[in-house]
A and B are shown apart, each in its own frame.
Chain A
Amino acid sequence: MAVSPDENAQSQRLADGLHLGYRFVADPDLAVTRRYGLIHARGGPRGGDVPRPATVLLDRDGIVRWVSLSRNYQVRPDPRDVVRAVRAL
């Protein structure tokens, strides 16, 4: 599931364009992102807060099993590492 600060319509266009099979949910006021501690303070346009790129793996019971946090917004987890974490569940 992808959590995005964008409006749903915009996320849908992205999902359609890239043929992404997963669900996008909108967190426009960043309430959930903030609760998860995944804010890049003043990282957005006009000094606003934006999400920091992050990937969180939860097991069947909703327990956090793996987290990937980037310290540079150009960097994302390697898909092979994500697959490895899912397989290790």
Chain B
Amino acid sequence: MTPGRLATLSLLICAVTIATYSLLLGVPAVRNHPEGYVAAFAIAATVAGLGVALRRRWYGWLTLGVAVLLLTLGAYTNFVMARIPDAPMVLRLGEPAPDFTLTDAAGRPTSLADYRGKKPVLLVFYRGYW
């Protein structure tokens, strides 16, 4: 494969990775494997590196720079920024959940106790947008 084709392939892998991750974020298999985008950028960087090794052209270096930058940003995001440190587990399976009263959008106080003996409750803790 020529250095030009390797550079194109590397850029294509980067573009497809970004598009896949941003467009298919709602698909659990994509969203729950963020290490996938890091691996894809690593492949793109390897392909671009091969191109530079074959012939040192400016576009080869540029492509390698793009792929390495994306790989660095992706790895930092996934392995450092997005990591949640372990915290002591408060909830215990088989034990009652702590009761609470919070206000909903209509201003109505909502208690967990309101549901007790009536129906199961699925509590989803949102990270929020702050």
A contact residues vs B (CB 8 Å cutoff): 1-6, 8-12, 14-15, 22-27, 31-33, 35-41, 43-45, 50-67, 70-76, 78-80, 82, 86, 89
Contact = CB atoms under 8 A, between A and B. Distances in A.
A35 to B, nearest CB: 5
B86 A71 contact: yes
Chain B interface secondary structure, helix, strand, loop or mixed?
Answer: loop
Contacts of B98: 32, 35-36
Given A1-B121, A25-B104, A78-B32, A52 B127 contact: yes
Given A1-B124, A62-B116, A12 B34 contact: no
A6 B122 contact: no
Interface in B77-117: 78, 82-100, 102-105, 107, 110, 112-113, 115-117
A73 B91 contact: no
A51 to B, nearest CB: 5
Contacts of A25: 102-104, 110
